[in-house]
Amino acid sequence: MTASTILCVNGRHVTVEADSKTPLLYVLRNDLGLNGPKYGCGLGECGACAVLIGDRAARSCTVPIGAVKTRPITTLEGLGTERDPHPVQAAFIAHQAAQCGYCLNGMIIATVALLRANLHPAEAEIRQALRHHLCRCGTHIEILAAVRAAAA
Ligand code: FES
């Protein structure tokens, strides 16, 4: 049943008209025009749709909007801008961590969540944090280098 829901997205309160079971990803992309989070699998498996809910990374394709209406949501667009990127975004650019780029939203969101919890993660902790984010191009070497640089 469609209803009004107020969400806090990238520091702004927005009202959306949708069923409370609608996946957050659909609202972010289709209603709010935020294309940072990507649709990959739609099943919580690939990580392309990751956003921050509070300080934790979450897969927005599996989170119903009714479950997050009082929580701050941050998408890639809320981290930084092209002119003023977040330090993690800047590290990914500096290390040319993108090939097709489809996975990078999730990789960056997961890295920001990791560094908010642990400023200086060990290599094993970095790999653990990114282990369920799929990259089909195989730029893992560059991605790991970017994360290490952001954590330095
Ligand atoms: Fe959400 Fe793959 S699209 S985890």
pTM, rounded to two decimals:
0.96
**CB-ligand 1 contact for 48 (6 Å cutoff):** yes
**CB-ligand 1 contact for 106 (6 Å cutoff):** no
Distance (Å) from CA 119 to ligand 1 centroid: 26
pLDDT in single tens digits along all 152 residues of the chain? 899 999 999 999 999 999 999 999 999 999 999 999 999 999 999 999 999 999 999 999 999 999 998 899 999 999 999 999 999 999 999 999 999 999 999 999 999 999 999 999 999 999 999 999 999 998 999 999 999 999 98
CATH code for residues 87-151? 1.10.150.120
**CB-ligand 1 contact for 66 (6 Å cutoff):** no
Would you list the domain boundaries of the chain? 2-79, 87-151
**CB-ligand 1 contact for 46 (6 Å cutoff):** yes
The ligand 1 atom nearest the CA atom of 38: 3
Predicted complex ipTM exceeds 0.85: yes
Mutate to test the pocket of ligand 1, among 28, 30, 49, 63 (most ligand atoms within 8 A of CB): 49
DSSP per-residue string spanning 87-141? HHHHHHHHTT--SS-TTHHHHHHHHHHHHHH-SS--HHHHHHHHTT---SS--HH
Element (H, E) at 59: strand 56-59
- Which CATH superfamily hosts domain 2-79? Beta-grasp domain (3.10.20.30)
Backbone angles phi, psi at 145, to 5 degrees: -65, -40
